[in-house]
Structure 1
């Protein structure tokens, strides 16, 4: 139970921590306040408690697939927020500072509520068992500490990069995270029978999803050992759209300057 708790909590915390770290580094490079990110974390934690307590009722909606549709919607919100944040980052205009802060806080709040809900549900499912309670809490704290530490290391690493290189790395990471959100959303829609199922390849033999490496790759890249064609199309389309929009905005900014 100890190792299982570490892996599960680490996966959820790492997803949110990496996103928060990248956005905080972007805010630092822009010279803006990071207070909005803190408010986003607090709002996300409160929302995750509400969602976890309401998940039973949510699951009964839409003929029993309410949970999948709701979580897919949250992933879609994060993707759109990251797309807008990336575009505004290339504009480098002070008039968009407030909008940037709102979008960052929204992305953080939604991501934290999504991952926090999974952690709360996992802990609540086993905390009544006296035999595993100690290892459950210990493993959860260890996973939380490792995930938060990884996020802090990424933040400082990005801040130490030269501004031009740092901006490029941040935009690359935001594109990867946005693609992962779309991949996970499409997987949920497949579970809800809104998208066709299938399997393009099976890498579970050498990199299983339930292993440590697989869990970490899932957190960072949305790794799937047996992805469906619809997931790959969704991932490729999301990354292509974000890349195309960023290139268009970059060329527009260069022409204007």
Structure 2
């Protein structure tokens, strides 16, 4: 798996989790409820343990499969990764602005009920979502690169950098333009997802479940071989294939046009309260 893919995935996912936990911790200190910190950290620890367990389960499943079953499993994992990744990118884009206020409300509701367990569940749900997404994306990326399920050292570095940045942001020691950070990493993730989608169809071609229509639209093997170092890097990052089928090309370009277009379209200005849209004759 390309190390840069692992780094970007773990950095983005880890920073999302770190920011949300930082918001929860800072708010508990602000309202004078440090007693809520213990369940928060317990929820984080439980989520990390479950995420690691999920990664081990995927590794064990892949190790037991071979032949057509392996190809179908890899295709399913890639399709799932594309769906989750796409949802994650658009969800963060639409909720980031109001996320802090929403988390504060959820903390207030939990404390008003006298339920510290609810705080742990809130932290758990945040971290386990990011953790399981990270495991899924890393596994799908490794399958795409044809190297099996592996976890790169740069993936671990991405998590470490995310945790460090989250701490600095929490302490106010550094300012980061989060809107730009999530915008640019979101674009990269859309590029990754397009490659995953293309390669998922390639796996289904190999087992005869989806016909390629045209087996080889072009052939650039002699220019950049997808079995060489550069080709494998491009395959892991963007789903490069030196001789893609027509179905792969349509899936790749179609996803980029639709998802990329929707992601980059200008936001509509909010309509003032009480104003109704004009009625067309």
Are 1:226 and 2:243 an aligned pair?
Answer: yes
Q: Distance in 2 between matches of 1:71 and 1:155?
A: 28
Alignment-derived partner of residue 108 in structure 1: 134
Go from structure 1 to structure 2 and tell me whether the alpha carbon gap of 1:195 and 1:116 turns closer, same or farther (over 3 Å shift).
Answer: closer
C-alpha RMSD of matched pairs (Å): 3.9
Ranges in structure 2 where 5+ consecutive residues have no aligned partner? 25-43, 107-121, 167-174, 273-281
Q: Distance in 1 between matches of 2:50 and 2:3?
A: 15
Are 1:169 and 2:179 an aligned pair?
Answer: no
Q: Distance in 2 between matches of 1:118 and 1:221?
A: 9
1:52 pairs with one of 62, 75, 79: 62
Q: Distance in 2 between matches of 1:18 and 1:112?
A: 10
1:85 pairs with one of 82, 88, 94: 88
Are 1:25 and 2:25 an aligned pair?
Answer: no
The TM-score normalised by the length of structure 1 is 0.66
Assess if the C-alpha contact under 8 Å between 2:199 and 2:239 holds in 1.
yes
**Aligned with 2:221: secondary structure?**
coil
Assess if the C-alpha contact under 8 Å between 1:52 and 1:118 holds in 2.
no
Alignment-derived partner of residue 3 in structure 1: none
Ranges in structure 1 where 5+ consecutive residues have no aligned partner? 1-10, 60-64, 124-139
**Aligned with 1:251: secondary structure?**
coil
Are 1:240 and 2:273 an aligned pair?
Answer: no
Richer in helix (by share):
1
Q: CA deviation at 1:108?
A: 1.8
Go from structure 1 to structure 2 and tell me whether the alpha carbon gap of 1:41 and 1:190 turns closer, same or farther (over 3 Å shift).
Answer: same
Moved more, 169-178 or 11-20: 11-20
Assess if the C-alpha contact under 8 Å between 1:78 and 1:110 holds in 2.
yes
The TM-score normalised by the length of structure 2 is 0.61
Are 1:251 and 2:267 an aligned pair?
Answer: yes
Go from structure 1 to structure 2 and tell me whether the alpha carbon gap of 1:49 and 1:87 turns closer, same or farther (over 3 Å shift).
Answer: closer
Give a deviation string over 1:169-188, Cα, whole Å, max 9, x none: 12111211211211111111
Alignment-derived partner of residue 218 in structure 2: 201
